[in-house]
Structure 1
């Protein structure tokens, strides 16, 4: 009965907010009042204060999340490095068993993202929660170095997926509580560059750790899990001491800077990030057309980017030895990191998303055709150089699009983000079987990537057109209901970025 009452109460508030004469009836939580502490400042002083505030938030938050995401991918993708280091031989594993160990991580990863982000959206210290979960996954990764069989490895990878579920969607949610719509694409790309750093230097780090082979009678691939896991635990412990949690409680800001940050976010999102009633917010997330369109975009992107899980092995199929193969995994991801930073900056500058998503997929299609058509070393490596930039650049844009297009309470947005990311990772459960045992041409995998890229272009354009239609309705003064912007946002000139 309490849930029903809560939902009715929430709908009343939503209807009131969207109605005429809103000034007299709008809920206090949705008011955006200019702080009295800032009233004496000139426009120039406010602009300088805003820049200083953003700079401090950047310094506190971005290096922390970037480092944790780099460690996240080191711990996730060390399995393929361990395979090159002799893990499957030592454990007596088949190629199918190896593919299963890749897949089971994503089964755990997908299943807990939504409940984890729901929890994060309602905690007073979401940043500390993320660090705690990072420490857990680091411990699990370190324990993987002690496995004695395929079954033990599969169990460790499943548990690793459970513990990693909190991080990326939690980090996206945390970014959305500290940055405006115009700032999110660049910050999302900075966060996402942690993935590229993890992929780029994972091979070099593995090569260095493999030199410990035989130390204390422990194989080099076991040292890889132990060392990388220990690094993650240490970093999580350190970062938990200063990671920002909410704009209202962030330390190292002056009272004026804190007031400016909270006001800026309230003005941009229509209200400060209120959790809102739980089940009504979840229901709104599930019935938002924008969420489902963005989910399809990310789902298709995940299919094309599944090559990452086998990237080192695809390069290994060119016939190089271990000392050459692992360094060759670095350049594609260094290029990718530069591309996504520049690309997201350009998307923010132009305030355009659909074409910035669709265009790179033409490159994905070309790269997969080249990789499938030939095993010539130069041609195959050229294709592999193109792939990460081409499928990760649009992913960053979709993530920022998601953060700015899903309006409503923080619980609704956190739920939608988690649903999109969780669903988008489901292809990793089955795409691993397209690669394992199908070298060197990988016909099935590359063909699926081409088809997914074509569909991704279609859905990116469709999403852009849908958002333009919503903007057209807003221009005419139409009410979009609870799935649209609040009255405060509309008065501030809110428009969806298409």
Structure 2
């Protein structure tokens, strides 16, 4: 049975005499440490971010080449009708969701993200390449399901991984840079598909869509092998960092959170992390918001088909997909940079919602080339919301890592569940009317996502007010509180009283 210790700041202060200047010193980096922090950040950005972007690029290319393969004869070769094609599209996310929480709990338990991520990158690359050999509806469904299983660990793992390297003030811009990998895949994946359609169709007796899977899957396997050897695990284990730089890397995250970014000792920490995550209402609100924007972004699975409604050939349609994505790559980076600079998340998540709704309405109600193609540039504003939501989640789910890992996994599971059913809203019978059912669903989802953002804003604001009240009162500490403080004190090389005072600066980002 857990007992409560009536230990307060006042009582701790009687044992340890800390001046105001000493407390301030403990709550921020020294000038020398700030210089090291800049060097550390440059080193992290130079190695980790390019690898993360590259893998995410291939993740989306391997996942979405199914849509490009549709224009290259996949349906005819495998005898797929509208329903079978949509089932093949959505089945990936069934496997994807089933693996989310178990995979992230395993990642946090193993503690070797380089090998963990690298292994699964190789695995999904092999599955993608072997998809080229399917010859039936059952075969493509099986491959898509397995692809979902082996792709599942990557996204949550990389979100969890980046949160172990960057502070919340740095995350939004980096998350946007990271997410640009998926946007680039929308552009270059379809350009690659167009090139294969023109250059390799019929070579060695293989169709264009078979070459598409072989080439892109093989590239992914090579990148996965490189990840295993190049990607560092965590700051405290990266041998290329000096001891001083490793200390700064841990200290800056501990200062920001008011506690060390460590799990409790013992094998039960993962189960406790699961319980902590699933009893935090913020986990559900973020997950529903992500489900809404994922569902609203479901048009990306049909983007080549939507663009083909403009009346051009398969090759031209694949090329026309690229400009909206490239526009959003540049725009989302500026969007997230400003979000970081102003320290705001709510408004940067909400303002794209009316823009995307206007885009969906224009697409539904017009048939001429100019307005219809312009609507795509408005619809892709939904992707600007992703980087904001990722960084908002990362800064709003408190440590320990075991809780954060499960929360990220649940967030991604529920979010991607929209990808199971939204494909069935794109009805071929409504193609001539510009898919009114699908566009209506996208509008409704964006509205619900906005409501979730409003809830999160007021919930986090109330938590910040509670934190302010706690700072002005003497509060009893439980054994659990003391253990967490001791973990921080051990990392910082300070006493529990100082670690207690470090917590007083923490606020949720609104």
TM-score by length of 2: 0.88
Partner of 2:435: 442
Listed as ranges, the matches of 1:165-314 within 5 Å are 165-210=152-197, 211-276=199-264, 277-314=269-306
CA distance in 1, matches of 2:438, 2:500: 48
Tell me the alpha carbon deviations over residues 413-435 of structure 1, each in whole angstroms, 9 at most, x when there is no partner: 00001101110000100100111
Residue 488 of structure 1 deviates from its aligned partner by: 4.5
Residue 270 of structure 1 deviates from its aligned partner by: 3.1
Indicate yes or no: 2:410 matched with 1:419. Answer: yes
Contact kept? 1:121, 1:275, Cα under 8 Å: no
Residue 44 of structure 1 deviates from its aligned partner by: 3.5
Contact kept? 2:54, 2:181, Cα under 8 Å: yes
Residue 144 of structure 1 deviates from its aligned partner by: 0.3
Q: Give the 3-state SS of the residue equivalent to 2:379 in structure 1.
A: helix
Residue 419 and residue 201 in structure 1: after superposition, are their counterparts in 2 closer, same or farther (change >3 A)? same
Residue 22 and residue 51 in structure 1: after superposition, are their counterparts in 2 closer, same or farther (change >3 A)? farther
Q: Give the 3-state SS of the residue equivalent to 1:379 in structure 2.
A: helix
Contact kept? 2:352, 2:382, Cα under 8 Å: yes
Partner of 1:78: 65
Residue 490 of structure 1 deviates from its aligned partner by: 5.8
TM-score by length of 1: 0.90
Root mean square deviation, CA, Å: 2.4
5+ residue gaps in structure 1?
1-7, 26-33
Indicate yes or no: 2:441 matched with 1:453. Answer: no
Tell me the alpha carbon deviations over residues 329-371 of structure 1, each in whole angstroms, 9 at most, x when there is no partner: 1011111111111111111111111111111001011000101
Contact kept? 1:96, 1:436, Cα under 8 Å: no
Residue 138 of structure 1 deviates from its aligned partner by: 0.2
Residue 490 and residue 296 in structure 1: after superposition, are their counterparts in 2 closer, same or farther (change >3 A)? farther
Q: Give the 3-state SS of the residue equivalent to 1:431 in structure 2.
A: helix
Partner of 1:497: 509
1:109 to 47, 71, 96: 96
Indicate yes or no: 2:363 matched with 1:371. Answer: yes
Question: How many corresponding residue pairs?
Answer: 472
2:400 to 393, 399, 409: 409
5+ residue gaps in structure 2?
14-21, 486-498
Partner of 1:30: none
Tell me the alpha carbon deviations over residues 296-329 of structure 1, each in whole angstroms, 9 at most, x when there is no partner: 2111111111111111111112211012101101
Q: Give the 3-state SS of the residue equivalent to 1:477 in structure 2.
A: helix
Contact kept? 1:104, 1:158, Cα under 8 Å: yes
Residue 247 of structure 1 deviates from its aligned partner by: 1.3
CA distance in 1, matches of 2:372, 2:12: 65
Listed as ranges, the matches of 1:356-395 within 5 Å are 356-388=348-380, 390-395=381-386
